[in-house]
Amino acid sequence: MCGIAGLYGDIEAGTIDRMVDCLTHRGPDDDGYHVDGKHGIAMGMRRLSIIDLSNGAQPVYNEDGTVVAVFNGEIYNYQSLRETLEASGHRFTSDSDTEVLVHLWEEYGEELPIYLNGMFAFAIWDEQQECLFLARDRLGIKPLFVTTNQDSFAWASELQPLLRAGVEPTVNQSALSDYFNLGFSPWPKTLISGIEKLPPANSLLLSDGSRVQRQYWSPPATTVTRTGASRTVRSLLEKSVEQRLQADVPVGAFLSGGLDSSAIVGLMTEHKDDVRTFSVGFKQAEYDESAEARYVSDYFGTDHTELTVDMSAVDILPRIISAYSEPLADPAILPTLLLSKRAREDVKVVLSGEGADELFGGSPYHEMVERHRRISAKLPESLFTALKPVATHSPIKPRHFRYLSSLGSDEKLIAEVAGNFSRPPDEYLATEGQGNLPDLIQRSLESAESEYLHRQLTFDLSYLLPSKLLHKVDFATMQASLEARTPFLDHELVEYVHQVPTDQRFDGTYKPLLRNAVSDLLPERTLQRTSQGFNLPIHHWFRAEYEGLTRWLTPDMLRQTPHVDATAVRSIYTDHCDNNRDRGLALWKIVNYVGWYDLVVRPHKRDQARTVS
């Protein structure tokens, strides 16, 4: 696991060093560079050593030094790939997974990514062909940010190195609109104009002034009735967990006590005798699942560590905002980072349950919305048309009217679910650009069946998962120099489950396909419960007027932040504190954006202004 960065084109002295310095937390063990002024290429990395601790340094080269790579991630099938490459005459100098990349490039060129099973973002420079090749893994587990100007192309594992490379920190208003509607910024855009995320399952080839981007994978678009689906899921999940235990350092797991994380821990204990587990609890009983995590730990005999979080967790918010490249309005970032820091004291790798909800349907909305959708199909379309203006102007629970009006269209319904049924931000947000949500939904439907549930799960898998959930886990764990691995996102498992019809994945109970797959592994108490995740009482924290939050809501701070209406925000905050309405989620979005602008954008604007002067 590493942080990578690079430049191609016009290279200024010292730029690559400044870029890589931003990534030290991602790789505290080592750094490495390849700089070739003749060809205008500079590549750098910071390494978190997991495999081949003594000889796995980067960059890596082919036999004659003409192909060089920097890599972030893990390739779980690297040993079998290495055997095939050695049989073809390739010579290796280390036991690291990274080295297979340069030889795979020599064998397969742009087809390289389809041979990889893992999580990855990498860059390869081929001196003889004078081309640069970048790729990102199928599900978007590892991030890759890119930018282009007239003189050069640059890439990095985070957004900050690209600002260090000289990108002007101007807010992308269209992406900002998406952020306030969704709570995250979906690929390919970022909140900085001119910087994009390379989409999941995409590669990029730059050569002789040309730029070719291609999608090398997508989830299957059609479903097939499966017999023995639970047995196959179990087999694929067992294989995935076993592969993700490969490491030359200690490996543990995040454990909530829910079905997903408990299944992972149970399978880990079949391969390891000394499993370490880590859970987070909350002082407010209604948010606390620590007792369930302890129960599962006791059942499997793991060495368990529990962390309790209260309102003081907000004190690390500035660090989080600075680390997350762009704002992410998921309060779970607080316990995720704190738990990652605690886990890093004992292990260097953790397994985590991200992706299970998007595959097996874990959201409480999924079946409720599908049930309402079936009922609405019996009603005349004119009813939904009539509800739309009511949804806009009714003072009585307008989100209920918006929801009812959306039931006439899958696309509108997916948009409402994606935004968590929250109020539109028009009352406090002033942007010229419109968000891209309708286009994103249409794009995701290309890999979906025609029925609602499959469409919703496909959108979640395509956008919610990489741009919110995986973004959160990657940046939180990497801030703690901890590697997170996600067994549910093995692409073979994803391909199989995505083709299972939704009537085999939903039967009115919680995740029946997964539950049946691990029914002999987990205790009945765990099989019969749902997990609430890392929910936090942020609405209480705002009403407590905790300084760690209110510092970003002062009139002066709001007035200094573009695109938000300071007067409207103060009115929302007062309304919330007076218990008139729960506006906690809107305030959390605002706090994260205002803090991000203050801690990330404004300092870079000052630095660039000093450089110009």
237 and 198 belong to one structural domain = no
| Distance from C-alpha of 257 to C-alpha of 261, rounded to nearest angstrom | 7
For 275-291, how does the pLDDT look when each residue is reduced to its tens digit (9 = 90+)? 999 999 888 777 788 99
521 and 543 belong to one structural domain = no
Give yes or no for residue 51 having a pLDDT over 80: no
Average pLDDT over every residue of 396-420 = 79
472 and 486 belong to one structural domain = yes
> What is residue 260's predicted lDDT score, i.e. its pLDDT?
96
| Distance from C-alpha of 522 to C-alpha of 515, rounded to nearest angstrom | 9
For 220-274, how does the pLDDT look when each residue is reduced to its tens digit (9 = 90+)? 888 888 889 999 999 999 999 999 999 989 999 999 999 999 999 999 999 998 9
> What is residue 13's predicted lDDT score, i.e. its pLDDT?
81
Give yes or no for residue 361 having a pLDDT over 80: yes
460 and 522 belong to one structural domain = yes
For 362-400, how does the pLDDT look when each residue is reduced to its tens digit (9 = 90+)? 887 787 887 887 777 777 666 656 665 665 555 555 666
324 compared with 156, residue with greater pLDDT: 156
How far CA 11 is from CA of 5, 165, 166, in Å, comes to 13, 10, 12
Task: Find the CATH number of the domain harbouring 462.
Answer: 3.40.50.620
| Distance from C-alpha of 338 to C-alpha of 313, rounded to nearest angstrom | 8
DSSP for 408-441 reads T-HHHHHHHHHTTTPPPGGGTB--SSPP-HHHHH
> What is residue 62's predicted lDDT score, i.e. its pLDDT?
96
| Distance from C-alpha of 78 to C-alpha of 84, rounded to nearest angstrom | 10
Is 2 one of the annotated active-site residues of the chain? yes
> What is residue 567's predicted lDDT score, i.e. its pLDDT?
96
For 465-486, how does the pLDDT look when each residue is reduced to its tens digit (9 = 90+)? 999 999 999 999 999 999 999 9
How far CA 531 is from CA of 329, 333, 464, 505, 526, in Å, comes to 20, 17, 18, 17, 9
455 and 526 belong to one structural domain = yes
Give yes or no for residue 319 having a pLDDT over 90: no
| Distance from C-alpha of 124 to C-alpha of 19, rounded to nearest angstrom | 18
> What is residue 611's predicted lDDT score, i.e. its pLDDT?
67
* Type and span of the H or E element at 46: strand 41-47
Give yes or no for residue 212 having a pLDDT over 70: yes
For 167-181, how does the pLDDT look when each residue is reduced to its tens digit (9 = 90+)? 999 999 999 999 999
Count of domains for the chain? 3
End-to-end alpha carbon distance in the chain: 39
369 and 320 belong to one structural domain = yes
187 and 316 belong to one structural domain = no
Joined tokens for residue 475:
């940046």
Last residue of a domain, one of 171, 199, 215: 215
365 compared with 159, residue with greater pLDDT: 159
* Type and span of the H or E element at 611: helix 602-612
Give yes or no for residue 533 having a pLDDT over 70: no
> What is residue 171's predicted lDDT score, i.e. its pLDDT?
96
> What is residue 321's predicted lDDT score, i.e. its pLDDT?
86
181 and 265 belong to one structural domain = no
| Distance from C-alpha of 407 to C-alpha of 385, rounded to nearest angstrom | 11
> What is residue 374's predicted lDDT score, i.e. its pLDDT?
78
Last residue of a domain, one of 533, 568, 599: 533
Of 20-34, 78-92, 312-326, the range with the highest mean pLDDT is 78-92
Whole-number average pLDDT of the chain:
90
The catalytic residue among 2, 22, 131, 577 is 2
Burial-class residue 551 by CB neighbours within 10 Å (0-12, 13-18, 19+): middle
> What is residue 531's predicted lDDT score, i.e. its pLDDT?
64
> What is residue 449's predicted lDDT score, i.e. its pLDDT?
87
> What is residue 612's predicted lDDT score, i.e. its pLDDT?
61
The band of 404, judged by pLDDT with boundaries at 50, 70 and 90, is confident
202 and 246 belong to one structural domain = no
Average pLDDT over every residue of 183-211 = 95
Of 120-129, 391-400, 498-507, the range with the highest mean pLDDT is 120-129
> What is residue 613's predicted lDDT score, i.e. its pLDDT?
56
> What is residue 540's predicted lDDT score, i.e. its pLDDT?
87
For CA atoms 420, 424, 427, 432, the dihedral sign is positive
519 and 479 belong to one structural domain = yes
Give yes or no for residue 187 having a pLDDT over 80: yes
136 and 209 belong to one structural domain = yes
> What is residue 80's predicted lDDT score, i.e. its pLDDT?
96
| Distance from C-alpha of 377 to C-alpha of 44, rounded to nearest angstrom | 55
| Distance from C-alpha of 48 to C-alpha of 157, rounded to nearest angstrom | 14
Task: Find the CATH number of the domain harbouring 156.
Answer: 3.60.20.10
Residues 6+ apart with CB under 8 A from 504: 225, 226, 229, 513
| Domain, as residue range, for 457 | 218-533
Last residue of a domain, one of 504, 533, 562: 533
203 and 326 belong to one structural domain = no
Tokens 């741009």 correspond to what residue? 467
